[in-house]
Every structure is written in structure tokens, then in C-alpha cells.
Structure 1
Amino acid sequence: MYKIPRQSYTTEFKQEAIRLVEAEGKRPAQVARDLGISEQTLGNWRKAHKAGRLATGSGKPVSPEQMELSRLRAENARLKMELEILGKSHGVLREEVTVKYAVIDQMRQHYPLQSLCKRLSVSTSGFADWQACGGPTHWLSDAQLLALIRSIHTEFHGAYGSPRIYQELKFRGHPVSKARIQRLMQKHGIRARHKRRYKATTNSKHSMPVAPNVLDRQFSTTAPDTVWTADITYIPTREGWLYLAVVMGLHTRAIIGWAMDERMTRELVINALRMARFRRKPKPGLLHHSDRGSQYCSHDYQALLTEYGMEASMSRKGNFWDNAPMESFFNSLKSERVFHRRYVTRAEARKDLFDCVEVFYNRKRRHSSIGHQTPAQRYAESVAIQKMAF
């Protein structure tokens, strides 16, 4: 029987989550919701941190029964949080009954219909009548639609243009056309932030062995954690550069491994790979694609790939298109966030990048390459499909 992989979190991830609560002053429930974890899990991390055993854990063995109980508690907490979100949604959601029905229709495959109707203060019979009439029929006025567009544009830090705003409105249950959204955005000067070009960071001028381009731009995959891509970029601060190394799961476009440092060393990329492997624990045979940078060609990095049972693949020299998904991620990261910030210190940049990668990019931002889903949604759907196949 197929078992859903248990999500694992590195010490660095836990420390950043704790910092959001204790240093930034954010509510634990909000931080847990943003990071896709239960509030109880976050509370356990905070207790371990105060006791000085966050990195090593308690050392006590955990029985299968305890693990299952913990999983059920986390699932119940997640259900409670999502229903709470529904109850406190945008004003339009509270005012428009048909919008509530559309949201219920989206979520009823995951949650009991009666619970959803109770949370949104509608009747099950009314929902049934709405379905019988063909679903969503209410058409928002230009003023209502413009308010929603502005709200979504702000919520996603100006990153969304008309195509993604259309998908977000569609997901939220609002019947609207792409042309109408584009017309209103153009009329009121609402647009996505423009992208800028950036230079390559890794150095491919070396004598170390390179791997062939096994991936060969085959960016479509059928299952998660079969192909990963990796790369490095730089972030400017007044203290100097902060280098960010990431590992992306190609099937979901999620950033599953990352590391930051003031120097661009092989340890930087090794730490990102170790995080990715720790979180997903893929089976041997995974294809790992990168450029020909000296960090990725180093003996230590290649030895780690061999230890993990991963096959190396590398882009052709100077060919950015061979790693197009990673290039797209860095373009989005910089045009939607970094270019609009003035980081004074590397520590400030670290905090913002954690929020951008783990909260915004992995769990909120929709991607056209994966059917306008978020990486988190894509992963959950893929796991569910695999589970049914078994």
C-alpha cells in the first residue's frame, strides 16, 4: 500500500518559523497557516528551542501509534484552520451567497459538506439548489471586480498580471472573463512587475569533469521527486552579496532545498541538496540537473550525489535554456521581490527570502506550467493520485 511521505523540516526551517513568532511578533496560528504546518507542531518546536534541544530532538523513541496520532492531530488542526479561513474570508465572500457556494463546491471533495455549509452560514439545501441551477451565475459589477483585482494584486506583492489574476478569481469562485480583467487592469494602470535580466553566478571555466545533458530540456515529469534542478543566484545588500542556492522539484516547481551564505562555495550547494533530500527522501535513480559551475562539478558534491543514488545531468556550456525552470524561478524571485527591496544587512535579506520562498512561492503563487496550481497543491494532488494507483 502506498504511504504518503512524511514531511520533514530542517533545523534552519524550524528556527526561521520560530523567529517569525518570537522576533517578528506574528501570531503562531498565522505563521503555522503560512508555512503549511499545524499550530501544535510549531508549538512543539518553540518548546524544544527554549529547552535547548531543537537541533537534536528529545532523543526519545517514537512509536508508530504516536506517529499516527500526531498525524491525525495535524490533519484535524489543518481542517480547523482552513475552515477558519473560510469563515474570515474577504468581505465579498461574506456578502455574496453564490460565492460561498462556489467555494464550498471547490472544497467539498476534501471536507464534509455539512461542516463547510455550517462554517459559511449557508444551508445544504440552498447549496443543492445552486448546483441544480448550474452553479455560479452571479456577475460582479466593474466596481466589485476592480476591488477584487486590487486586493489580489496587493496580496501577491504586485507579482500577478491579468492571466494569474484570472486564475485566482476563477479558483475563488468568481465567474469572469480574461478580457474583462485585462480591460480593467489596463484602464486603471494595474500591471505585474517587470522582469530584469541578471548575470550568471557560477563559474564553468574549470578543468573538472562535467556530466552529459541527460535532462535535455524534458521539463515535463509524471511524478514528484524524479527530477530535481539546482542553481545559485546572488542577492545585493549593503553589507555585500548574499548567495542563495536552491533545489527545485521539477514536477511541482517547489523549492525543496535552499541555503544562504556570504560566500559562493561548494558547501553552499551541498547544504541546499542535503535539505532537499532530508525533506523528501527520494528513491534512488532521481535525476539531478544543474549547470557546469565548479560548485556542482566538485568532487564533494558529486560524491554526495552518488551517495544519495542520484544521476547527474548538466546544461551545455553557457546555455541557460537547458535549465529554464530554474531561470524562471530566479527571474520571478528578483522581479517580484528582490528588485523592490533595499536590504541593509544579510540577515534582513535572509528573513525576507525565507518568507518569499517558503510562504509565498511554495504555498501561494500560482504557476502556469503546473496548471495554475501552487507547488503545494500540485504536490498534494500528485501524492493523492499515487496513493489511489496503489
Structure 2
Amino acid sequence: MSKLSKQDKIDIYNNWKNYNISANQAAKEYGVNRANLFYLITLVERHGIEILDTGYTNYSVEFKEKAIRRVLFNHEVADQVPLELGLSSRGMIYNWIRKYKEDGYNVINHKKGRPTHEGQRQTDSRASKANKGPQTEELKTYCRERICKKIERLSLTKIERLSLTKNQRPTAQEIVSVVTQLRQELYVTVSFVLDTINSNPDLPHLSRSNYYYTLGKDDKDLKNEKIMKRIKKIFEEHKHRYGYRRITAQLRREGIIVNHKRVKRLMVKMHLYAISIRRRFKYSGYKGTIGKIKPNLIKRHFAAIIPDRHWYSDITEFHLNGEKLYLSPVMDGCSQGIVAYTLSRHPVLKQVMDMLDQAYQKHPALNGLIFHTDQGWQYQHAAFQAWLENHGVSQSMSRKGNSLDDGLMEGFFGILKREMFYGFEKTFKTMDELEQAIKEYIHYYNHDRIKTVLKNHTPIEYRNMVLNKAVQ
């Protein structure tokens, strides 16, 4: 507030009072702190404009001690006490409290100017007294309350942040950080803080030797600061879908060589945990033998050397607000990418036939292709089997009751629902929003999501890489 003249203060108050000029606007115009400006307005509103005529006042020791005790021991709001007392600045009470602690919990009127030798000796004596901590039982009780409250808050924050059981405790590094902060804030000794903590059975204990050991130990993760920032950014970019192994692979793609164990430790330290939700339900289109059952040509040898030699398909359903949505994709056995897909509100034959047409438009060279599915009624239908035969495609089917025979598609459905559906149902208000989210995820899966089985490439990258090598 020292930047403002008396006339400035009067103008600010009048503009606020008569023209509804907010404290924010005035703070920007005059280049001062908004909180201090709001204090000025409240002060004048309470005591009148005459309060601005009050010059420098040398407050007595008794006056300061009474104000300090109202904040520390009566637990009054620190910003309200200076308003009631008519202090020109709210910062005065904070300065008094700071000096009160520095001087060994004694109120002393400090004289301006350079101290004499005698004054310096008195200052040194006061500093020595401050290092001994609070002297009265009232002050000791106040400090103990502050220490216990801070440590309790640390413990509660730790538990809530990690969603752990009540038996979990903060780490030694976290406790040491708070203890050091309390020493500086209360001007007490380490022994005073540690004795207070260790005497309370509900608080995490810390020995004096462990405190100094942890305090003196260099933080080995300071050199990992850049890596930690990049890990967190990757984690957020992929919407918490990447675990430590996949993040390690992404870092190596960017030229950052780091061990997966270090990435795991840093992620735990930053409390970054990938989505992990179990599957809930599975759609089955099997209705018994209604057509010609085909042999199992794949026999769980899912991988293919080049693209468009093994294709896999299945249908899965999504339940949302009492409605159902069906997804029918085609997956390539070489790149494990989604070649084509259709979405429908009902599991009808047209959905599967449209999927075939989409896949054929993208990849018309189908000679020698094996198309593998389960024994769903759509795949036993004469129209479906005729389409495959007319395009030179060999049909393969899983054995009845052997879902592992179609394990590649089952795995994709599990990844899809775990990473964008399970646990996120409330974010989709309508089926249209869910359809759009599925489309976006499949694009993400093909173009952005790396797979370790593909040598840390995305499906599209791996497909192009294999085709380029085949041409060479």
C-alpha cells in the first residue's frame, strides 16, 4: 500500500462505493495487490475515511501482545483482527507474529537504525533464546497443537491421495519435509518437534537420527526431473491408459533410454496408475448349428507374416442407459490393427455384410486370406459364407465353447472396453456420444497406441514397415 497516496486511497474507496468499481479493477489500474486493496476498502468502510489520517503509530508491547494472542491462542481470523484494531495494513499482524516467534515468543519493540554493540549482544541473546523454543506452557501447547495438526493433515492427505488403507503412513521424506517446515515456522528445535510427534501414538514416528539421515540424503530423483515431466505428459496424453512398460517404450521411441524399473518407481512416486478394470459381460451370437460349420484353420496361430493373410472378427456389445450398441470389427493378424468396423443398435446380418464390404474396399487383394470367427449365427449364414467364397477367402471357425480360439479379438475387446468404456459410462449421455467415442478410440488404437508385440510400433506403423520390407 506504500505506493498509494492518501488521495489515491480516497479515490479507490469512492469509486468502489459510488461507481461499483471492483477491487480487481482498481488493483489492475493502480498495480497493487488485490487482497491488500480489498483490506483498504473494508478498513475505510468500517472506520470511516478519517482512518486514513492516522499517521505512523508506535504500538506498545502490550497492544502487540494482545493482538498476537487473539490470533494464536483465541484462534481469531488473522485478517479480521487488524480490521477491528484499525491497523493500516493487514501485514502488520503477520510481521508481529513472525517477530514474536523469532524473539523466543517475546514481544520486543525493535528500534529503527543500525544497532549498537550492546544492541547486537541483546539480539544475539534473543536469538539464542529463540533456539531454545517456547518457554511458557501456553506457548508449548500452541506449538504442539500446530505440529500435530500438520502431521495429521499430511497423513490424511497421503491416504486420500492413494486411496489406501488406514495402516499406510507417509514416507520418511514427506515427514522430514514437514518437520523442517515446522522448525522454520515455529522457531523450535528438532527435538521439540520430534518429541511431540513421537509422543502421539496416532502419528507416524521418526527418530532424530533418521531425520538427519533423510535430510542429508541427496534426492536421487532431482536428475530425473525432465523424465518425470515427460512421463506425466505421456500419461495424460494417453488418458491414463499407458502403464510403466508402455511409457518406457514411448520414451525409447523418443530417444530417451531409461530402464522400465526406474519408470515404474517414478510413476509410483508421482501416483500415476494406469486404468485397470475387469471385464463385465460378453455378447454371444451362438444359437446352435444353423448352417455349415467350418474347420479351425488357424489353430491359435494368430500371427501372420504379412498383412491381409489372417483376418479375425467377432461382435461385442455395449450397455448404456438400458440400450445396447454392437460393434463388429475386422482385425489383421499381422499388424493387429482394425481394418474395418461397423456399429449397430441391433445384431443384424447387414452389420456384418457392411463390414465385409468396407474391408474389401480398403484391401481388395484377398486371395489366400483366411477369415476366422467364432460360431456366431451371422458367420454361419449362407450369405456371409457365399461372400467369402466369391472373393477367394477361406473361412475358419473356432471350436464350440473355445473362446481362446478367437483370442486375438477377445483381447482387443478387453483393451477397448477397459480403456474407454468401463468406469466411464457416466461420461456418455447418449448412444451417439458413445458411438463417437468408439470411433475416436479405434483411430487412436490404430495410429497412436504402441504395442510391445509389434516392437513398440503402432498397428499402422507396423503394417507400413512390413509392406515396405516386402517391396524391397
Aligned positions of 1:255-274 closer than 5 A: 255-274=338-357
Residue 349 (structure 1) aligns with: 434
Residue 159 (structure 1) aligns with: 241
Aligned positions of 1:36-185 closer than 5 A: 141-185=223-267
Distance 1:278 1:202 in 2: 28
SS in 1 for 2:352: helix
- What's the TM-score once normalised by structure 2's chain length? 0.51
Unmatched 5+ stretches in structure 1? 1-138
Distance 2:344 2:285 in 1: 17
Q: Paired residue for 1:194, among 265, 276, 280?
A: 276
Contact 1:227 1:286 in 2 (8 A): yes
Contact 2:279 2:418 in 1 (8 A): no
Aligned positions of 1:291-310 closer than 5 A: 291-310=374-393
Contact 2:450 2:458 in 1 (8 A): yes
Distance 2:269 2:319 in 1: 35
SS in 1 for 2:404: helix
Contact 2:320 2:425 in 1 (8 A): no
Contact 1:239 1:344 in 2 (8 A): no
String of CA shifts for 1:343-386, please: whole Å, max 9, x gaps. 2222111111111102x100000112221210010111011011
String of CA shifts for 1:185-227, please: whole Å, max 9, x gaps. 1222212211312433132232222111110010221100000
Contact 1:226 1:282 in 2 (8 A): no
Change (3 A) 1:297 1:200: farther
Shift of 1:239: 6.0
Contact 1:229 1:290 in 2 (8 A): yes
Distance 1:217 1:323 in 2: 7
Shift of 1:334: 0.5
Relative contact order, higher structure (CA 8 A, sep 6+): 1
Distance 1:318 1:282 in 2: 32
Shift of 1:282: 2.5
Q: Return the letter of the residue paired with 1:290.
A: T
Does 2:316 match 1:233? Answer: yes
Determine which structure has more spread, i.e. the larger CA radius of gyration: 2
Distance 1:196 1:272 in 2: 28
Does 2:285 match 1:285? Answer: no
Distance 2:222 2:257 in 1: 8
Residue 307 (structure 2) aligns with: 224
Aligned length: 249
String of CA shifts for 1:11-61, please: whole Å, max 9, x gaps. xxxxxxxxxxxxxxxxxxxxxxxxxxxxxxxxxxxxxxxxxxxxxxxxxxx
- What's the TM-score once normalised by structure 1's chain length? 0.62
Residue 447 (structure 2) aligns with: 363
Shift of 1:166: 0.3
Residue 39 (structure 1) aligns with: none
SS in 2 for 1:225: coil
Contact 1:247 1:255 in 2 (8 A): yes
Distance 1:372 1:198 in 2: 29
Does 2:471 match 1:387? Answer: yes
Distance 1:312 1:198 in 2: 30
SS in 1 for 2:295: coil
Contact 2:305 2:334 in 1 (8 A): yes
Residue 116 (structure 1) aligns with: none
Distance 2:411 2:222 in 1: 34
Unmatched 5+ stretches in structure 2? 1-220
Q: Return the letter of the residue paired with 1:141.
A: K
Change (3 A) 1:264 1:366: same
Distance 1:282 1:160 in 2: 35
Contact 1:243 1:262 in 2 (8 A): yes
Q: Paired residue for 2:408, among 310, 313, 325?
A: 325
Shift of 1:140: 8.7
Distance 1:232 1:244 in 2: 6
Q: Return the letter of the residue paired with 2:399.
A: R
Distance 1:317 1:164 in 2: 35
Residue 215 (structure 1) aligns with: 298
Contact 1:247 1:256 in 2 (8 A): yes
Distance 1:250 1:140 in 2: 44
Residue 419 (structure 2) aligns with: 336
Contact 2:343 2:351 in 1 (8 A): yes
Contact 1:202 1:294 in 2 (8 A): no
Aligned-residue RMSD, C-alpha: 1.6
Distance 2:251 2:223 in 1: 14
